[in-house]
A and B are shown apart, each in its own frame.
Chain A
Amino acid sequence: MAGSATAGAQALAKGSEPAPSPPRSLEPVHSRVRLRVNGTDHDLEVDTRTSLLDALREHLHLTGTKKGCDHGQCGACTIMVDGQRINSCLTLAVMHEGDAITTIEGLGTPDKLHPMQAAFISHDGYQCGYCTPGQICSAVAVLEEIGQGIPSHVTADISAAPSLSADEIRERMSGNICRCGAYSNIIEAITEVAGRRA
């Protein structure tokens, strides 16, 4: 069973007493970290348990990066760190001293959309919008990965350059769940942007 973390509560066997906890400090440890987010340096003092996702959302108020599962299962928190896409819920903020982070807010704004954002709008590649920033960040990174010749599970010949086929894009986007089911439109949006670049 994946993600076996259930409730925080500890269910005790009938009649037993809790085992004494090993002595350890409960006081949170704070640490300073400098994050370069969308080209701007931010000096933060965070609880070392703070995920990069929560640092963005709760400390920097960059709430475009979404928390869908907090377990690396849904892709809604996808951002780019030094050009590579990652799930920001699966990494701690303090691990990213000096890293260059790109979030959805860094790709474009309502008045100046990134081509991928514009393509998602024109192909209606979203509905509720909650997975959308993660889909768009992933999509931008996927085209970079294909451009760099990085193969995927569906690449037939890993010694040849991977293609921009729908199957390649679908495979590489499969870590980004869209429960509204906009997949067919998302693939069309990405394909259009890929074609424009090619």
Chain B
Amino acid sequence: MKFQTPAGHNPIDRMSVVGQPLDRIDGPLKTTGTAPYAYEQHDAAPDAAYGHVVGAGIAKGRIRRLDIKAAERAPGVLAVITADTAGPLEVGPHNTVPLLGGPEIRHYHQAVALVVAESFEAARAAAGRVRIEYEAHAGAYDLEAARTTATAPEANAQMGEPDTQVGDFLGAFADAPVRLDETYTTPDQSHMMMEPHASIARWDDGTLTLWTSTQMVEWCARGIAKTLRMDRSKVHVISPYIGGGFGGKLFLRADALLAALGARATGRPVKVALHRPLIANNSTHRPATIQRVRLGATRDGVITAIGHESWSGDQPGGGPETAVSQTRLLYAGANRLTAMRLAVLDLPEGNSMRAPGEAPGMMALEIAMDEMAEKLRLDPVEFRIRNDTQVDPENPERPFSARPLITCLQTGAAQFGWQRRDARPGRVKDGQWLVGLGMAAAFRNNLPMTSGARVRLDGDGRITVETDMTDIGTGSYTIIAQTAAEMMGVRMDQVEVRLGDSTYPVSAGSGGQFGANNATSGVYAACIGLREEVARRLGFNSQDADFADGQVRSGNRSAPLASAAARGEIVAEDRIEYGDLHKTHQQSTFGSHFVEVAVDGATGEVRVRRMLAVCAAGRILNPKSARSQVIGAMTMGVGAALMEHLKVDTRRGFFVNHDLASYEVPVHADIPHQEVIFLDETDPMSSPMKAKGVGELGICGVAAAVANAIYNATGVRVRDYPITLDTYLDRLPDVA
């Protein structure tokens, strides 16, 4: 099905199942520990051996000598895989650095060996007996130091142009009566999903089966096929449950490749999980940025010049953190400039983490907006309202499909009690605490992606959906079941959803908040095909047939849905593809974040007291699971504001705090009750579901709202994340 014209009235509009706040259908399995994750497929691979990964102990250089004899002789060891013994390996289409290093080492903890043994304990112990002598080379590990060497990255479809200009930014900025020119920094961050990267590999007659934890089944399958120089058809990837990804499991990683190599070498299934201290440096991370924001405005708060430049670093051949992308679309302003510069760093590979680009970009831009509002003596909500735009500011011919940003701001302000905020910082005290309110806009684009599905109707009237879509905690199982139930007019318990298997039709996968809208639209397309075939078999006109309550009705006639499949299962398969509506209309999601913090007047400790998000993201397919997506993103936003920071050892070139104790993430005690409001919106330009994404919108702007609240509480402006108390303790107001 090609989606080329705005969606008209369709069966989803009935909203009898879609749009309802239903419990997740995978809840009983997940809460009882009976949902099998990648490493837990004992039935599929009962005789699996265990692999333990050895990571490089230097950041850049060469292995001079790799001695695996002692490891090979260790009890229980079946094989030791290294680059010398692995056979020829290519680099997967999404990878920047080879997943198995040696002799060249590209980053710290790049995998250099896999020890396979009869038990986990034996493999781990033997891994400690791999002896490696390195020749370390000098590398670049410090973004600030490398900033002057950064160059414009090559344009591509994902990031767009590295430089954009509209009007005369420099002239307009120079002429603006009120100006802001500040630089902000965001640190390297780690996904730190709870389930480590994990895989079991098994070979049968040249076919590889991988039980793995991946957000994108097809990307993983293509990645392993390319890396092992295999035919894609000889790879079967299975990923029914994924213990979190956040961008860290988008494509092939070392666990899957090494499990496949280990299994090939031993003739046994092999299971590999990256041990936690390896993950931060072995896998990908959100790259640090340096961002310069310049805003020029008239005295009544109309932006005339808006400029945003960002510097980030990555491995040779890698890409930039696209932190300027929202600035091209979020606010009006006749004169505009954005630029991205990319330095070569020898740190681990940078890549996507929840809302790549916008998450760190909004961390800078939305502090700048707060600072500018103060210069203008304008309320920060009002300042944003004055600079709303209903068209693409770079191309005024191109409207937004829907853009209720002002409603998000006003609704949030009213709901949060924003009018009670004292704009003068440091004025509100509650005992020992300085109390402040902060806010930010939220913004993230909607991404149309081709997505396929297969639906089956059996003689009992049951519907089965098959798609290689994944559920990484996002609620895919449930919203797909809701879509099929609505389309076919059956109850939720009459729908079975099968996900995460590369033998099913290729879906959009999970990433970029594009999963829900595209995957359900693919199911919609397949269900349209199934409805047509059902109507044909029943002798109905498919155009006016109504599917509800297990019945198909047309005019005065009615028949049980099941009867259409009385003589055999009916199968329909299709995919959603998109025309150019996303080109003629900018499709984005909008929101506002409001935060109340208390800062201890003596110690500087920050407590987040209240949080509210207002979101406009098209049709909300399941308000319960969508709300969870948003509060989870708000939580990660608090982490970004206050604690998350992969600390770089700039001499030896690695992330020092590479585990879950020293890389701090929010815990229960850090997070208050959180409120989420969804605006009632449908976007007929986005898809037949009229939905967009919400899982990443929820993080965009949160950290800045926290930073702005801390400023309102204390009068201390911190422009370098995370905002830890050591960075501002000496600037706190005197304790009276």
Contact = CB atoms under 8 A, between A and B. Distances in A.
B722 to A, nearest CB: 16
The 4 closest A-B pairs by CB, nearest first: A64-B33, A181-B635, A130-B243, A128-B473
B32 A179 contact: no
Interface string A61-84: 111111111110110100000000
Contacts of A180: 194, 244, 473, 628, 632
Contact of A14 (B131, B135, B278): B135
B420 interface: no
Given A47-B119, A177-B665, A128 B193 contact: yes
Contacts of B37: 63, 66, 130
A54 B194 contact: no
A69 B192 CA distance: 10
B228 interface: no
A179 B192 contact: yes
B629 interface: yes
Given A49-B125, A179-B194, A122 B23 contact: yes
A56 B635 CA distance: 31
A133 B195 CA distance: 13
Nearest to B675: A184
Q: Which of A64, A111, A130, A176 has the most chain B CB atoms closer than 10 A to its own CB? A: A130
Given A63-B42, A128-B244, A177-B194, 20 more contacts: A3-B659, A6-B57, A8-B115, A9-B127, A9-B130, A10-B130, A67-B196, A68-B196, A70-B275, A74-B660, A117-B31, A118-B31, A121-B24, A124-B23, A124-B628, A128-B473, A173-B667, A179-B193, A183-B671, A184-B673
Contact of A127 (B125, B191, B629): B629
A58 B123 CA distance: 14
B76 interface: yes
A124 B119 contact: no
Nearest to B627: A124
Given A8-B54, A71-B276, A181 B633 contact: yes
A70 to B, nearest CB: 6
Given A12-B131, A67-B196, A127 B34 contact: no
A23 interface: no
A73 B660 contact: yes
Interface stretch (A102-110, A143-151, A157-165): A102-110
A178 interface: yes
Contacts of A132: 30-31, 33
Nearest to B27: A121
B55 A12 contact: no
Nearest to A65: B33
Contacts of B131: 9-10, 12, 18
Contact of A124 (B56, B625, B673): B625
Interface of B: 23-24, 26-37, 39-40, 42, 52-58, 74-76, 109, 112-113, 115, 119-122, 124-125, 127-136, 191-196, 241-246, 273, 275-278, 472-475, 624-625, 627-629, 631-636, 656-662, 665-669, 671-674
Q: Which of A108, A121, A122 has the most chain B CB atoms closer than 10 A to its own CB? A: A121
B194 A183 contact: no
Interface in A129-171: 129-133, 136, 166, 169-171
A27 B119 CA distance: 13
Contact of B659 (A71, A103, A118): A71
B33 A105 contact: yes
Contact of B661 (A2, A6, A128): A2
B277 A186 contact: no
Contact of A63 (B36, B58, B275, B656): B36
Contacts of B134: 11-12, 14
B215 to A, nearest CB: 11
29 contacts: A1-B656, A6-B277, A8-B115, A9-B57, A12-B134, A28-B122, A50-B120, A54-B120, A66-B37, A66-B194, A66-B195, A67-B39, A67-B196, A110-B29, A126-B31, A127-B628, A127-B632, A128-B193, A128-B195, A128-B244, A130-B193, A130-B243, A166-B673, A170-B669, A174-B669, A179-B246, A180-B473, A183-B668, A185-B628
B194 A7 contact: no
B442 to A, nearest CB: 16
B26 A129 contact: yes
Contacts of B246: 179
Given A54-B120, A71-B276, A182-B628, A9 B55 contact: yes
A184 B194 contact: no
Nearest to A171: B669
B139 to A, nearest CB: 15
A110 B33 contact: no
B57 A7 contact: yes
Given A3-B277, A28-B75, A58-B120, A181 B31 contact: no
Contacts of B659: 2-3, 69, 71, 73
Given A28-B121, A182-B628, A104 B668 contact: no
A30 to B, nearest CB: 10
B32 A11 contact: no
A100 to B, nearest CB: 18
B632 A182 contact: yes
Contact of A184 (B633, B661, B672): B672
Interface string A94-116: 00000000011101111101000
A194 interface: no
A3 B627 contact: no
A65 B127 CA distance: 25
A70 B276 contact: yes
Contacts of A3: 276-277, 658-662
A5 interface: yes
Contacts of A11: 57-58, 132, 134
Contacts of A65: 33
Nearest to B73: A26
Contacts of A14: 133-136
Contact of A186 (B40, B76, B245, B668): B668
B666 A130 contact: no
B130 A8 contact: yes
B276 A73 contact: yes
Given A3-B662, A129-B26, A184 B54 contact: no
Contacts of A71: 276-277, 659-661
A136 B631 contact: no
Contacts of A187: 668, 673
B660 A129 contact: no
Contacts of B196: 67-68
A104 B32 contact: yes
A57 interface: yes
A130 B33 CA distance: 9
Given A124-B23, A124-B24, A179 B665 contact: yes
Nearest to B630: A181
Contact of B278 (A7, A47, A63, A175): A7
A171 B668 CA distance: 7
A73 B666 contact: no
Contacts of B634: 181
Nearest to B35: A129
A15 to B, nearest CB: 8
A14 to B, nearest CB: 7
Q: Which of B122, B127, B635 has the most chain A CB atoms closer than 10 A to its own CB? A: B635
B194 A178 contact: yes
A66 B24 contact: no
Contacts of B667: 173-177, 183
B636 A12 contact: no
A171 B42 CA distance: 36
Given A7-B55, A54-B120, A185-B628, A110 B28 contact: yes
A30 B275 CA distance: 24
Contacts of B273: 67
A65 B39 CA distance: 12
A14 B136 CA distance: 9
Contacts of A105: 32-34
A45 B646 CA distance: 41
A128 B194 contact: yes
